[in-house]
Chain A
Amino acid sequence: MAAMAVALRGLGGRFRWRTQAVVGGVRGAARAAQLGRKVAVVDYVEPSPQGTRWGLGGTCVNVGCIPKKLMHQAALLGGLIQDAPNYGWEVAQPVPHDWRKMAEAVQNHVKSLNWGHRVQLQDRKVKYFNIKASFVDEHTVCGVAKGGKEILLSADHIIIATGGRPRYPTHIEGALEYGITSDDIFWLKESPGKTWHPTDVALECAGFLTGIGLDTTIMMRSIPLRGFDQQMSSMVIEHMASHGTRFLRGCAPSRVRRLPVGQLQVTWEDRTTGKEDTGTFDTVLWAIGRVPDTRSLNLEKAGVDTSPDTQKILVDSREATSVPHIYAVGDVVEGRPELTPTAIMAGRLLVQRLFGGSSDLMDYDNVPTTVFTPLEYGCVGLSEEEAVARHGQEHVEVYHAHYKPLEFTVAGRDASQCYVKMVCLREPPQLVLGLHFLGPNAGEVTQGFALGIKCGASYAQVMRTVGIHPTCSEEVVKLRISKRSGLDPTVTGC
């Protein structure tokens, strides 16, 4: 979110306010205010190149997790509609989807969340400024309000939580003019139609677009879901490919042009053959990574150091930047997982350290997460590659299973990619290092096991847990086949 939270003390500017505190993000701000501090949040959304803008709450609420999961849900419902006749529901197929109706419903929900955040700040007496702010010195930020009025805010503590924005491949002709990003897709009033995603990371959008019946093509330069377990990632792709998403691998786009009829013509180069190819699409969605929103902050005036490569802010384990009373949390920070709950917790813990007398540090290990691709992928802890890199092949045991969700049977769905694996140390008691789950409701399944891993669960302890029947998550506590054994990991019977 383009939010900078400051707690203010009076300075010479036209706006005077005094306080001892500051915080990052809406929730952190609210928390600091609860702890009796005078807090201000400064938030401003720079419109996307396509002109999309939104309200308070940051990426997650407006152009991230929330609208994404809702559109993912819309796509899942499309799958359920197809299942329904097998379960006796007399629905005439195919059922068409109306983008406008969905988008409006999703956007209305997001707007109600924006409103909720503002009310929450108000309730907690957090001052909210909708201005674009930058540093004047290490205790002062400055911004210009809508009417052109300059506002100076000063604070004892300043927390930078400005997040990141999608990256554009500006070197590609037409990319900026004709392409959209995740900043725009959730706010489109009309269906994006036939879409084309040059992407390394965001499979989720392509997943739900395919799911609501659009012709969707993904172009990948190299491997998908970098940083995630590669076996799981390739299964995610396999599943999407078998459900209608097209993949162009090893290709790099070179230009985008608008055709007279209004469609977009994309030209790309196939890296293996060296040949050029073109395709016509309604929408081009760039999802090639995100850049931190630090450039306009005048960080150098405050003396805050950033990474020269990524422009992300460098912090220590207490989230303090190179300037001790300036902190940074969330996606804007170098080396942190770019996840909402991580940012929320980091903000909360920081505030408790600053004003609540706590000394608890944020633990960035074993952060669970879920990718809401059509077949969801939940994970916590180490990938298989990472476990092997850290402990050596000889010391790692991987238990795995291909399972079939009960609901898939009657629906006649293919479960080839429903798969779970647990990465453990080989030596008894076989400490669990990582859990990877591909299947329906992966997020719900993974959350509890993340707790288990946090508790230092061993393979033996997980196996002693009685399953809940019939669920998908019980497959985790029934993992018996190790990869090393070479036995068939397909679950049979019940």
Chain B
Amino acid sequence: MERSPPQSPGPGKAGDAPNRRSGHVRGARVLSPPGRRARLSSPGPSRSSEAREELRSRLLGLIERSRVVIFSKSYCPHSTRVKELFSSLGVECNVLELDQVDDGARVQEVLSEITNQKTVPNIFVNKVHVGGCDQTFQAYQSGLLQKLLQEDSAYDYDLIIIGGGSGGLSCAKEAAILGKKVMVLDFVVPSPQGTSWGLGGTCVNVGCIPKKLMHQAALLGQALCDSRKFGWEYNQQVRHNWETMTKAIQNHISSLNWGYRLSLREKAVAYVNSYGEFVEHHKIKATNKKGQETYYTAAQFVIATGERPRYLGIQGDKEYCITSDDLFSLPYCPGKTLVVGASYVALECAGFLAGFGLDVTVMVRSILLRGFDQEMAEKVGSYMEQHGVKFLRKFIPVMVQQLEKGSPGKLKVLAKSTEGTETIEGVYNTVLLAIGRDSCTRKIGLEKIGVKINEKSGKIPVNDVEQTNVPYVYAVGDILEDKPELTPVAIQSGKLLARRLFGASLEKCDYINVPTTVFTPLEYGCCGLSEEKAIEVYKKENLEIYHTLFWPLEWTVAGRENNTCYAKIICNKFDRDRVIGFHILGPNAGEVTQGFAAAMKCGLTKQLLDDTIGIHPTCGEVFTTLEITKSSGLDITQKGCG
């Protein structure tokens, strides 16, 4: 095997070992933890040059066949540190205690010839001479050691990824492109209502994709209303057919599922439709639908299991309620619907259901869109309210009862006030829970290999290279602690992770200024800080906030309301009015926000906004003519037009 590590730390490169190998090294294999006395050289002729040559061959053989060899002395504290390091990495080592073998001194001499290093510990990883204790720790810190360890072929795979969603698949494909042997395990545990889906994870199956398509269907309903004002003539009351839409959307999703399988096959990634669970270090158990178990090993692992919707834990919730896992493939129109929660999932679903003409109520415990700018969140909510969505605020459900079976059936919901003792009752066809999501990290054997999770949230803490506390185990996607739960983030971090692990890249995923858009009936796009967060970080007096209401040109003739769409930027006065928060509420907010996010990456300032020419007539151009500051208190309502 030819190997030429560019950063080979020691002069004693062992790459030419195979040609010289001749004999065996007997009795040398000592498993970590060490302690057993071993004898390296065979008895017989000694002190001859022949014997010396034989010893040399044996040492090289040992190095050749071992993943890690540590030439150590049992009393040496440096040696102990190195052994502990490998043990913490969960890596098995061959340890040779030179003070406990008969010919330790001669071994050390020969080693010094091979490596030009006279001292112990003396460490080889996958035939590469790493050096002594300091060099080993340096290599560990720079990531080189991990790279050397990956070269191991003792495992079935270089990389096993648990979870075939956005993050897992992007990591798998990139690792495969870099020539690694990769396996993806993906298994969808059916929802309590029995819904299950194909490869691709939440985004494709029960997230962004069907959500945006249903949102589009609702926008088309609005467009149909508008179109009459623009001269299109039809008289009949236009009705919406849930089944037609859902079937079309599910067809599209199936084609995406198929596309993912195909692209994994093309890149020679092994895809296994089984549930993955760690059983010991470097080893997982894969259980398929039929309950058959298979075991696989890998040098490295990526956990990308994502999240699933949370249930309330009240009587009747799992039996009768649905979640976003079920909604997009629901075979019947949900009818009168209660949406529980105020997350973006809740508001988006409530928004498009109302757009189809359904009677929709949203039950909110406290605030809307937690974590988002609250001024924007309230505007999102009030637009929905003006467009027929009912809000029940400061209530939580306590019981769900089935009144009638059917498609849909009838459910009675009992809810109580979060502030007093008041209770209310309502009858709905469908109750959709969207109160948050839980990480799928508690049933994948992480405790078996000691991967730490946040016990409360179930999230996995990682360092800035997505590495867990167990060095060969990484994590990407929604299960990361304190990271945005967004598809493009997962894709980016998965891809960059693979490049760092197997390519020459050092590029880390940048989680700053990640833009996002909430596809509520009036879309809300943002990038950077919310007003609340900006005030917390920079203090109010150091900020200048520019804002305006605006009226999209297309809305004028359509007779839609003025003074509803809203744009706001938050600038840091003491950093040349740098834009630290960008918020827009209006049509096509996602399309508008993306470019501004790129500009924020390049240090966007208010001055640059002022200097840039608008594209006329668009919504995006409103940001090039922002003049009124919030602190001025001036009126931002648009009186005329233009």
Residues of A within 8 A of B (CB): 57, 60-61, 65-66, 69-70, 73-74, 77-78, 80-81, 83-92, 95-103, 105-106, 109, 112-113, 115-117, 119-120, 212, 339-342, 345, 360, 363, 367-370, 378, 406-407, 409-410, 441, 443-452, 454-457, 461-462, 464-474, 476-477, 492-494
Q: What residues of A have a CB within 8 angstroms of the CB of B50 in the complex? A: none
Q: Mark B552-563, 1 if CB is under 8 A from A, else 0.
A: 011011000000
* Docked pose: A340 CA to B616 CA in angstroms: 7
B602 touches A457 (CB 8 A): yes
* Docked pose: A461 CA to B599 CA in angstroms: 9
A81 touches B227 (CB 8 A): yes
B592 touches A455 (CB 8 A): no
**What's the least CB distance linking A174 to chain B, in Å?**
30
Residue from B230, B492, B595 within 8 A of A74 (CB atoms): B230
Known: A81-B223, A406-B213. A342 touches B252 (CB 8 A): no
The number of A-B residue pairs with CB atoms under 8 Å apart is 304
Q: What residues of A have a CB within 8 angstroms of the CB of B617 in the complex? A: 65-66, 69, 443
A444 touches B234 (CB 8 A): no
The answer to the question of B238 belonging to the interface, with a C-beta cut-off of 8 Å to chain A, is: yes
Residue from B245, B554, B599, B620 within 8 A of A87 (CB atoms): B245
Q: Beyond A74-B230, A446-B620, A457-B602, list 9 extra A-B contacts (CB 8 Å).
A: A96-B233, A340-B616, A341-B614, A369-B615, A444-B588, A447-B621, A468-B516, A470-B212, A492-B259
Residue from A367, A406, A464 within 8 A of B209 (CB atoms): A406
A80 touches B227 (CB 8 A): yes
CB-CB contacts below 8 Å: B416-474 with A: none
B557 touches A466 (CB 8 A): no
Q: What residues of B have a CB within 8 angstroms of the CB of A120 in the complex? A: 640, 642
CB-CB contacts below 8 Å: B588-624 with A: 588, 590-599, 601-604, 608-609, 611-621, 623-624
B615 touches A451 (CB 8 A): no
**What's the least CB distance linking B377 to chain A, in Å?**
18
Q: List 20 A-B contacts (CB under 8 A).
A: A77-B226, A81-B224, A95-B233, A102-B230, A105-B557, A113-B640, A341-B616, A345-B613, A368-B613, A447-B618, A448-B599, A451-B599, A452-B599, A454-B599, A457-B601, A464-B601, A465-B594, A493-B259, A494-B200, A494-B209
Residue from B489, B612, B618 within 8 A of A443 (CB atoms): B618
A84 touches B224 (CB 8 A): yes
Residue of B nearest to A440 (CB): B591
Known: A113-B642, A457-B601, A493-B259. A90 touches B239 (CB 8 A): yes
* Docked pose: A473 CA to B623 CA in angstroms: 17
Q: Give the contact stretch, choosing among B214-222, B299-307, B396-404.
A: B214-222
Interface centre among A410, A451, A473 (most CB of B within 10 A): A451
Q: What residues of A have a CB within 8 angstroms of the CB of B292 in the complex? A: none
B613 touches A407 (CB 8 A): no
* Docked pose: A78 CA to B231 CA in angstroms: 10
Residue of A nearest to B230 (CB): A74
A473 touches B594 (CB 8 A): yes
* Docked pose: A61 CA to B216 CA in angstroms: 30
**What's the least CB distance linking B409 to chain A, in Å?**
22
* Docked pose: A98 CA to B230 CA in angstroms: 8
**What's the least CB distance linking B540 to chain A, in Å?**
26
Q: What residues of B have a CB within 8 angstroms of the CB of A92 in the complex? A: 234, 236
* Docked pose: A445 CA to B203 CA in angstroms: 22
Q: Mark B221-251, 1 if CB is under 8 A from A, else 0.
A: 1011011011111101011111111101100
A115 touches B640 (CB 8 A): yes
Q: What residues of A have a CB within 8 angstroms of the CB of B596 in the complex? A: 447-448, 451
The answer to the question of B514 belonging to the interface, with a C-beta cut-off of 8 Å to chain A, is: yes
**What's the least CB distance linking A57 to chain B, in Å?**
8
The answer to the question of B204 belonging to the interface, with a C-beta cut-off of 8 Å to chain A, is: yes
**What's the least CB distance linking A416 to chain B, in Å?**
18
B256 touches A444 (CB 8 A): no
Closest 5 CB pairs of A and B: A448-B595, A102-B231, A447-B620, A88-B245, A116-B640
Q: What residues of A have a CB within 8 angstroms of the CB of B492 in the complex? A: 466
B598 touches A457 (CB 8 A): yes
* Docked pose: A100 CA to B232 CA in angstroms: 11
**What's the least CB distance linking B519 to chain A, in Å?**
9
B230 touches A69 (CB 8 A): no
The answer to the question of B263 belonging to the interface, with a C-beta cut-off of 8 Å to chain A, is: yes
A450 touches B554 (CB 8 A): no
Known: A88-B244, A410-B213, A441-B588. A467 touches B598 (CB 8 A): no
Q: What residues of A have a CB within 8 angstroms of the CB of B213 in the complex? A: 87, 406-407, 409-410
* Docked pose: A444 CA to B620 CA in angstroms: 5
* Docked pose: A468 CA to B588 CA in angstroms: 12
A444 touches B592 (CB 8 A): yes
B599 touches A90 (CB 8 A): no
Known: A339-B613, A378-B615, A469-B487. A493 touches B256 (CB 8 A): yes
Interface centre among A98, A119, A378, A410 (most CB of B within 10 A): A410
Known: A455-B599, A468-B515, A468-B517. A77 touches B232 (CB 8 A): yes
Interface centre among A57, A363, A464, A472 (most CB of B within 10 A): A464
* Docked pose: A466 CA to B256 CA in angstroms: 22
Residue from B229, B238, B591 within 8 A of A105 (CB atoms): B229
The answer to the question of B208 belonging to the interface, with a C-beta cut-off of 8 Å to chain A, is: yes
Q: What residues of A have a CB within 8 angstroms of the CB of B621 in the complex? A: 341, 447
Q: What residues of A have a CB within 8 angstroms of the CB of B223 in the complex? A: 77, 80-81, 84
A409 touches B590 (CB 8 A): no
**What's the least CB distance linking A487 to chain B, in Å?**
13
B598 touches A78 (CB 8 A): no
B604 touches A455 (CB 8 A): yes
A494 touches B204 (CB 8 A): yes
Q: What residues of B have a CB within 8 angstroms of the CB of A462 in the complex? A: 598, 601
Residue of A nearest to B356 (CB): A88
A69 touches B557 (CB 8 A): no
Q: What residues of B have a CB within 8 angstroms of the CB of A464 in the complex? A: 510, 601
Q: What residues of B have a CB within 8 angstroms of the CB of A448 in the complex? A: 592-599, 620, 623
Known: A116-B642, A410-B249. A471 touches B233 (CB 8 A): no
The answer to the question of B537 belonging to the interface, with a C-beta cut-off of 8 Å to chain A, is: no
Q: What residues of B have a CB within 8 angstroms of the CB of A457 in the complex? A: 598-599, 601-602
A493 touches B260 (CB 8 A): yes
The answer to the question of B486 belonging to the interface, with a C-beta cut-off of 8 Å to chain A, is: yes
B608 touches A447 (CB 8 A): no
B238 touches A407 (CB 8 A): no
A342 touches B613 (CB 8 A): yes
A494 touches B618 (CB 8 A): no
Residue of A nearest to B621 (CB): A447
Q: What residues of B have a CB within 8 angstroms of the CB of A461 in the complex? A: 598, 601-602
B615 touches A450 (CB 8 A): yes
A81 touches B602 (CB 8 A): no
* Docked pose: A456 CA to B602 CA in angstroms: 7
Q: What residues of B have a CB within 8 angstroms of the CB of A363 in the complex? A: 611
* Docked pose: A445 CA to B613 CA in angstroms: 14
* Docked pose: A112 CA to B641 CA in angstroms: 7
* Docked pose: A98 CA to B228 CA in angstroms: 9
CB-CB contacts below 8 Å: B248-283 with A: 248-249, 252, 256, 259-260, 263
Interface centre among A77, A119, A468, A493 (most CB of B within 10 A): A468
* Docked pose: A448 CA to B256 CA in angstroms: 30
Q: What residues of A have a CB within 8 angstroms of the CB of B554 in the complex? A: 69-70, 73
A476 touches B239 (CB 8 A): no
Q: What residues of B have a CB within 8 angstroms of the CB of A84 in the complex? A: 220-221, 223-224, 238
* Docked pose: A409 CA to B256 CA in angstroms: 11
**What's the least CB distance linking B490 to chain A, in Å?**
10
Q: What residues of B have a CB within 8 angstroms of the CB of A61 in the complex? A: 642
**What's the least CB distance linking B233 to chain A, in Å?**
5
* Docked pose: A425 CA to B623 CA in angstroms: 28
The answer to the question of B132 belonging to the interface, with a C-beta cut-off of 8 Å to chain A, is: no
Q: What residues of B have a CB within 8 angstroms of the CB of A60 in the complex? A: 616
Residue of B nearest to A64 (CB): B616
* Docked pose: A70 CA to B515 CA in angstroms: 30
Q: What residues of B have a CB within 8 angstroms of the CB of A109 in the complex? A: 556-557, 641
* Docked pose: A450 CA to B599 CA in angstroms: 8
